Amino acid sequence: MRAKSWMSALVLAASLFIIPLAAAQQPPIKIGEINSYSAIAAFTHPYRNGWQLAVEEINAVGGVLGRKLEVISRDDGGKPEDAVRTASELVGNEKVALLAGTFLSNVGLAVADFANQNKVLFVAAEPLTDAIVWEKGSRYVFRLRPSTYMQAAMLAEEAATLPAKRWATIAPNYEYGTSFVANFKKLLSAKRPDIEWVGEQWPANQKLDAGPTIEVLIEMKPEAIFNAEFGGDLIKFVREGTTRGLFKGRAVVSALSGEPEYLDPLKDEAPEGWIVTGYPWYAIETPAHKAFLAAYQKRINDYPRLGSVVGYSTFKVIAAAIAKAGATDTDRLIAAMENLPVETPFGGIVFRAVDHQSTMGAYVGKTAVRDGKGVMVDFRYDDGKNYLPSDAEIAKLRPGH
């Protein structure tokens, strides 16, 4: 044959390969992810490792509905206005199918409001305030982690068994802190009407001036303390409080302090005997968690933090919802997510139809120091579904429902 004919034959043959290839490459499902990576790296970096692991596992088996997941991740710097601007850009420019993430409760509320206004599905991963699914809840917002109400209920259950009658509280002065303290006071007083609330402290988030604040708490002469400080503030609170004798002879109930991202930096200065919610990753024997732990350690070469479980579970939930919905259309996703059972490293969870809150629970236990590190001991898993109010009470809280 002549050269020209060879060329045509070659081009024709090549094009026959390209057509099936193009058909197999369906466009990926774009998911917008927003979190406070620069503001609270201790939580969000493991959280990112968690969701990256989940997405890898999902895409390794071909993705969902034959399409790979593509996550477009952005930093909100811990500021609600930046988070909303980012959300707007993700939805408007990147055309994501849904939004996920956030950490701080005020940021979570801002993005939830955006999602409601713009009719976009938002899977709130970590922000804990009740308002996200109750006072300011909407059909477009689902929340994974157990709320301040749920965790306060778990902790109040333990606190009620203590002899202490005079309680003082300290929590960061923003949505998460105010919500947690309000719930803890309400739930504990309901179990123990004899309890007297002798005082409160409200330092600005991540700006605790430990020495003076602790002196004020000492001056209140409490018998027990409820703490919701976390991150750098918790470290300062523990060190200064221990040195100044705040915790001598006093019970301490401390929200989130058993989470490794907050407990581990304390090393051998970790407090002992505090009642905490947390994540004792080294001692959970369930098959679901063991599988997650092995996969995480193999892939990330580090031990998981609670953030890792949150990130991983969030994207497993999203994949399950898309698979059940058979589409990425918002209304069908919402319908699919309600009452959808999903397996997570903490076991099976369900997103309730009444408020879109998941039944994910938390580990509650006591702190101790072993081998120069803070750990949780005597812990148990409190299933979220047992720590929620009745549907009737929730209906009264939801807007317009």
Partner 1 sequence: MTFVLIQFLNGLASASSLFLIASGLSIIFGVTRIVNFAHGSFYMLGAYIAFSFITWLPRTQLGFWGGIVLGALAVAVLGALIEIVLLKRIYRSPELFQLLATFGVVLVVADAALKVWGADELLAPRPQGLRGAVDIMGRAFPAYELFLMAVGPVVLGALAVVPAHAVGSAGPCRNPGPRHGGRARRQ
Residues that bind partner 1 (CB under 8 A): 41-42, 45, 209, 211-212, 215, 218-219, 231-232, 235, 239-240, 243-245, 261, 264-267, 269
Using the minimum distance from each CB to partner 1, give the nearer residue, 118 or 206: 206
Strand partners, 123: 100, 142
In the numeric block, the tokens 């304390």 are attached to: 266
Which token pair is 321?
């919802």
* Sequence-ordered list of residues with C-beta below 8 angstroms from that of 57, at least 6 positions apart, any chain: 295
Rounded to the nearest whole angstrom, what is the least distance from the CB of residue 283 to partner 1 in the complex?
22
Rounded to the nearest whole angstrom, what is the least distance from the CB of residue 223 to partner 1 in the complex?
18
Rounded to the nearest whole angstrom, what is the least distance from the CB of residue 10 to partner 1 in the complex?
50
Rounded to whole angstroms, the Cα distance separating 303 from 296 reads: 7
Using the minimum distance from each CB to partner 1, give the nearer residue, 147 or 201: 201
Rounded to whole angstroms, the Cα distance separating 67 from 96 reads: 14
Rounded to the nearest whole angstrom, what is the least distance from the CB of residue 248 to partner 1 in the complex?
9
Rounded to whole angstroms, the Cα distance separating 352 from 349 reads: 9
Rounded to the nearest whole angstrom, what is the least distance from the CB of residue 243 to partner 1 in the complex?
5
Using the minimum distance from each CB to partner 1, give the nearer residue, 230 or 387: 230
For 365, phi then psi, to 5°, come to -165, -165
Q: Using an 8 Å Cβ cutoff, are 229 and 202 in contact?
A: no
Rounded to whole angstroms, the Cα distance separating 267 from 369 reads: 8
Using the minimum distance from each CB to partner 1, give the nearer residue, 76 or 240: 240
Alpha helices in 96-231 (DSSP H): 105-118, 148-159, 175-191, 210-219
Using the minimum distance from each CB to partner 1, give the nearer residue, 72 or 218: 218
Strand partners, 348: 343
Rounded to the nearest whole angstrom, what is the least distance from the CB of residue 195 to partner 1 in the complex?
24
Using the minimum distance from each CB to partner 1, give the nearer residue, 154 or 208: 208
Using the minimum distance from each CB to partner 1, give the nearer residue, 161 or 301: 301
Rounded to the nearest whole angstrom, what is the least distance from the CB of residue 265 to partner 1 in the complex?
4
Using the minimum distance from each CB to partner 1, give the nearer residue, 265 or 280: 265
Here the contacts of 114-118 (C-beta below 8 Å, separation 24 or greater) are: 114/84, 114/87, 114/88, 115/87, 115/140, 115/141, 116/140, 116/141, 118/88, 118/91
* Sequence-ordered list of residues with C-beta below 8 angstroms from that of 38, at least 6 positions apart, any chain: 75, 77, 78
* Sequence-ordered list of residues with C-beta below 8 angstroms from that of 316, at least 6 positions apart, any chain: 54, 58, 342, 343, 344
From the DSSP assignment, how many helices (H) and strands (E) are in the chain? 13, 14
Rounded to the nearest whole angstrom, what is the least distance from the CB of residue 81 to partner 1 in the complex?
21
Rounded to the nearest whole angstrom, what is the least distance from the CB of residue 232 to partner 1 in the complex?
5
Using the minimum distance from each CB to partner 1, give the nearer residue, 43 or 140: 43
